[in-house]
Amino acid sequence: MNLFRRRSVAALQAEVLTDKSLKRALGPVNLTALGIGAIIGAGIFVLTGQAAAQYAGPGIVYSFILSGLACAFAGLCYAEFASMIPLSGSAYTYGYATLGEFIAWIIGWNLILEYLFAASTVAVGWSGYVVSFLKDFGIAIPATFTSAPYDHLTPPGAHWWNLWQLFVNGWTSNGAVLNVPAVLIVAAVTILLVIGIKESVNFNNVIVALKLAVILTFIAVGVAYINLHNWHPFVPPTISPGHFGWSGVVRGAGVIFFAYIGFDAVSTAAQEAKNPQRDMPIALLGSLAICTVLYITVSLVLTGIVNYTQLNVSAPIAVAVNSLGPSLVWLEYFIKIGAIAGLSSVILVMLLGQPRIFYTMSKDGLLPPIFSAVHPKFRTPWIAQILTGVAAMLVAGLFPIGLLGELVSIGTLLAFAIVCAGVFVLRFTDPEIKRPFRTPVFWLIAPLGVLSCGYLMYGLPPDTWARLIVWIAIGVVIYFAYSCRHSKLERRHDKTR
């Protein structure tokens, strides 16, 4: 059994020309809007405030810069792969072509953490804004039906190698039943995605325009209310490792890395792009650049308006707007509507990405054929879409946002590091292959991508590492029990013996 057998890049490029099952309907504007739709969401409306309150204070600005640099390195590597192999598998396909099947499986398995858990995380943030918005009109939904029924605290003195202590202990029931709004939004978006890619993207374009208007309005109004005293100290003194000080800035960068993962979702739509060789690099790098500037600006304004200690809530921008006084109550409603709409588009893009990765893995034989079933009318991977939606509904309804966000970040960072390594390896193993976009100074950018992603992973809490280890272990069991035996590469090898 060859765990590191690779798919030929030439064969993958030929598949681009022959596989017409998914509809090519997306241009550069739609693809860039997909990226912005996925990036501008829970990171800016939810996690920015929480990471500032728990880890970095106003120094969350530095956290965004660190995460943005890591994403820039990864984005350049993604752009090379996405233009060279414009299929739906994203990092999974890139790993298959460079580092072998087993590594590709690990990437694909971790991308479940990125997309499915990201959709669930954002749905929890969406629920927080909806509850707050309805409360403004006197409609109070009992907390029993708007909160996760379980909380998790890392036991004091826990170490990453004590998996049982970190993964199993620390769970407490808080009396809630289910986060119903989070479940309902995932269900609605899943139905929309089953109906069709073009309809979904048109919806996303409208939402992106709305949330960009909201964010720019918040920045324009909020600048006048910045209190410079809220920025002192800009990096609060260390309380414990990972909580404030520069170690807190690094941990904050790892946690809010979740905010940037949307640019990767663009690559999952490569097989539905009209001209992927040209449009994918534009969309990947363009959406990342636009959103990095917005994140840094919003974090400065947010921590300038309100002291960072008050931002550990599910709707921190709403808290900042509330503090501006009754004369700006209109802005509070505007912000909440924009956040609700904006988070909806993130859920849409995340739930769009996961089934397309399942689709590609199924076509390779690593998942059952049901995951590559395409609806005869809508031409979408509808069964995989429904299964993903049901799983995301369960996760969103049952687990708290902090735990989900950290899981998403570590799974994504690992996938990004492997993509960067893949670009480096392929330059030596297949130097003559056609590359419509080439990562500049790859010998520097690719290693920096690996190192920066690894550094941010290092800063994440030990219980997050424990959950990643358990998650990978489950994936390894599935690979050897099913995937390696049904791999189409394995079957081709058997026929040639």
Contact of 281 with 79, CB cutoff 8 Å: yes
Spatial distance between the Cα atoms of 271 and 82, rounded to a whole number of angstroms: 10
Contact of 399 with 148, CB cutoff 8 Å: yes
pLDDT band at 450 (very low <50, low <70, confident <90, very high): very high
What local confidence, expressed as pLDDT, does residue 19 receive? 67
pLDDT, tens digit (0-9, with 9 covering 90-100), for 382-411: 899 999 999 999 988 887 766 666 677 787
Mean residue pLDDT across the chain:
82
pLDDT band at 35 (very low <50, low <70, confident <90, very high): confident
Contact of 113 with 471, CB cutoff 8 Å: yes
Supply 56's token pair. Answer: 């970095």
Spatial distance between the Cα atoms of 269 and 17, rounded to a whole number of angstroms: 15
Stated pTM of the model = 0.78
To 10 degrees, what angle do helices 462-478 and 101-136 make? 130
Residue type for 263, please?
A: F
Burial classification of residue 293, based on how many CB atoms lie within 10 Å of its CB (0-12 exposed, 13-18 middle, 19 or more buried): exposed
Nearest to 111 by CA among 103, 448, 161: 103
Pairing, β 171-173 against β 150-152:
antiparallel
First to last CA, the chain: 13
Instruction: Report CA-CA distances (Å) from 467 to 47, 460, 464.
Output: 20, 12, 5
pLDDT band at 160 (very low <50, low <70, confident <90, very high): very low
Residue 422 has pLDDT above 50, yes or no: yes
Spatial distance between the Cα atoms of 386 and 367, rounded to a whole number of angstroms: 16
Quote the percentage of the chain above a pLDDT of 70: 88
What local confidence, expressed as pLDDT, does residue 406 receive? 66
Quote the percentage of the chain above a pLDDT of 90: 20
What local confidence, expressed as pLDDT, does residue 330 receive? 81
Residue 496 has pLDDT above 50, yes or no: no
In sequence order, which residues have a C-beta less than 8 Å from that of residue 72 and are 6 or more positions away? 288, 292
pLDDT band at 156 (very low <50, low <70, confident <90, very high): low
Please tell me the chain's helix, strand, coil percentages from 3-state DSSP, rounded to the nearest 5: 75, 0, 25
Instruction: Give the domains, in start order, of the chain with CATH numbers.
Output: 9-496 (1.20.1740.10)
The dihedral over CA atoms of 114, 120, 121, 125, expressed in degrees to the nearest 10, equals: 150
- Helix and strand numbers, DSSP H then E, in the chain: 21, 2
Instruction: Report CA-CA distances (Å) from 393 to 145, 359, 388, 442.
Output: 14, 20, 9, 40
Residue 122 has pLDDT above 50, yes or no: yes
Angle in degrees, CA 179, 172, 312, rounded to 5 = 65
Spatial distance between the Cα atoms of 273 and 14, rounded to a whole number of angstroms: 16
